[in-house]
């Protein structure tokens, strides 16, 4: 919903430019997993700049909120101002839509005259970026929301992209573990992948080095000790106790340490995940990919075991007999939790970006 709002704002900005109104166009490029934003400023009409009375950050932010509510949303809901800060001569504001956990960023000039949505940069010359190798041409992916629109195969694999310290990534792993618990035959139709990058021979992640190292451990277990992966994850999701869970799951720690420390193993496995995520412009945890399709679990019943089973069955040429079996429709807890259930009747729609 918020993205749709900003598309509308962006359209209005383009219309202003076409009308030859003097303004500065500011494009904020946010790179997922990297702290900060690069701001590029282009001047029209011989470099004239925006000018006017300077407002406080709170006043400018509230002006943006009032504009979106009164002129964009109208009767479609409301947004509110979460926080503001000064960034590179502008005010950066965090906007949250009513009823949603996620927020999103925008920028507004200090005089409160021009509002700019954040526009996420997409790679246009993949050969020049070592972290984004050339794709096979399948990067133009739209979100699939129905069984009828889903590409089918004999052995569909649902790939869930997460990071290990995102509460909603943990929630997705918890739901996937429930699918395997209740319908073990679907284990081969499920794969957890991770979001991040490799920079200067080191793995990085959106929440810092602790998360990056945990991601790498989970990747190595997945690749080299696959029969221990879900035992480890099921333990880790309870309290995040890595050492305890390695022991309880029976992970070979010597082999794990060798994988993590060998750049020809752990980092190579990780880069495969990151390359695939980049190919499909995946930056949010969790995101589901099936074949060449981004899948919204909320179009199939929500972030529940039964919904994920339905997605896999929809993509199967020959539906397994277990597709008629109803799995858990209970809402899973987000974040670390000793129990499966969230304690809420609502199904969380949150994510980390």
pLDDT digits (tens, 9 = 90+) for 229-263: 999 999 999 999 999 999 999 999 999 999 999 99
**Tokens 């589901």, residue located:** 288
Tell me the average pLDDT across 6-26. 41
Tell me the average pLDDT across 216-224. 98
SS3 (DSSP) at 189: helix
Who contacts 156 (Cβ-Cβ below 8 Å, separation ≥6)? Answer: 189, 290, 291, 312, 315, 316
Given pLDDT bands bounded at 50, 70 and 90, which one contains residue 95?
A: confident
Distance between CA atoms of residues 184 and 178, nearest Å: 9
The answer, yes or no, to whether residue 222 has pLDDT greater than 60, is yes
**What is the average pLDDT score of the chain?**
78
pTM of the model: 0.62
Tell me the average pLDDT across 208-223. 97
Tell me the average pLDDT across 293-306. 94
Q: Which of the pair, 156 or 20, is modelled with greater confidence?
A: 156
Given pLDDT bands bounded at 50, 70 and 90, which one contains residue 15?
A: very low
Given pLDDT bands bounded at 50, 70 and 90, which one contains residue 2?
A: low
Task: Outline which parts of the chain fall under CATH 3.40.30.10.
Answer: 126-324
Tell me the average pLDDT across 15-40. 34
SS3 (DSSP) at 51: coil
The answer, yes or no, to whether residue 214 has pLDDT greater than 50, is yes
Among 282, 298, 292, 257, residue whose Cα is nearest residue 163: 282
Given pLDDT bands bounded at 50, 70 and 90, which one contains residue 7?
A: low
pLDDT at 278: 94
Tell me the average pLDDT across 213-233. 98
pLDDT at 186: 95
pLDDT at 211: 95
The answer, yes or no, to whether residue 174 has pLDDT greater than 90, is yes
Given pLDDT bands bounded at 50, 70 and 90, which one contains residue 41?
A: very low
| Residue environment code for 59-87, b if the CB has 16+ CB neighbours within 10 A, otherwise e | ebbbbbbebbbeebbeeeeebebeebeee
Residue 187: phi and psi, rounded to 5, are -55, -40
Tell me the average pLDDT across 257-280. 96
Pick the CATH number of 126-324 from 3.40.50.2300, 3.40.30.10, 3.30.160.150, 3.90.550.10: 3.40.30.10
Strands 197-199 and 202-204: antiparallel
pLDDT at 105: 78
Give the rounded distance of the alpha carbon of 97 from its chain centre. Answer: 18
pLDDT at 14: 41
Q: What percent of the chain lies above the pLDDT cut of 90? A: 52
Q: Which residues does residue 24 pair with via DSSP β-bridges, in sequence order?
A: 43
**Segment among 102-106, 150-154, 176-180, 226-230 with least mean pLDDT:** 102-106
């Amino acid at each position: 919903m918020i993205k749709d709002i900003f598309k509308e704002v962006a359209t209005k900005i383009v219309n202003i430019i076409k009308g030859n109104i003097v303004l500065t166009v500011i494009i904020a490029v946010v790179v997922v997993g990297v702290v900060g934003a690069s701001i590029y400023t282009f001047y029209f009409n011989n470099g004239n700049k925006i000018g006017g009375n300077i407002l406080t950050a709170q006043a400018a932010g509230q002006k943006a909120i009032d504009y979106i509510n009164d002129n964009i949303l109208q009767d479609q809901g409301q947004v509110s101002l979460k926080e503001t800060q000064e960034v590179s001569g502008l005010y950066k504001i965090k906007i949250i839509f009513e009823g949603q956990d996620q927020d999103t960023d925008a920028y507004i000039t200090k005089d409160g005259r021009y509002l700019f949505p954040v526009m996420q940069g997409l790679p246009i010359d993949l050969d020049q970026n070592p972290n984004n190798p050339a794709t096979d041409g399948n990067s133009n992916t739209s979100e699939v929301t129905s069984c009828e629109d889903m590409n089918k195969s004999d052995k569909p694999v649902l790939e869930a992209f997460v990071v290990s310290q995102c509460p909603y990534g943990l929630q997705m792993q918890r739901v996937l573990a429930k699918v395997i618990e209740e319908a073990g035959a679907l284990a081969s139709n499920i794969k957890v992948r991770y979001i991040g990058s490799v920079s200067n021979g080191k793995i990085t992640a959106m929440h810092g080095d602790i998360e990056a190292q945990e991601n790498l451990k989970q990747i190595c277990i997945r690749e080299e000790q696959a029969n221990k992966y879900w035992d480890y994850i099921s333990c880790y999701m309870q309290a995040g106790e890595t050492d305890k869970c390695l022991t309880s799951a029976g992970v070979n720690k010597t082999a794990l340490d060798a994988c993590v420390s060998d750049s020809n193993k752990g980092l190579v496995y990780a880069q495969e995940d990151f390359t695939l995520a980049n190919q499909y412009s995946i930056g949010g945890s969790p995101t589901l990919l099936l074949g060449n399709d981004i899948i919204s679990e909320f179009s199939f019943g929500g972030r529940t075991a039964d919904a994920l089973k339905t997605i896999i069955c929809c993509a199967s040429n020959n539906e397994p007999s277990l597709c008629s079996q109803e799995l858990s429709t209970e809402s899973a807890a987000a974040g670390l939790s000793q129990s499966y259930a969230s304690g809420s009747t609502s199904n969380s729609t949150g994510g980390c970006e």
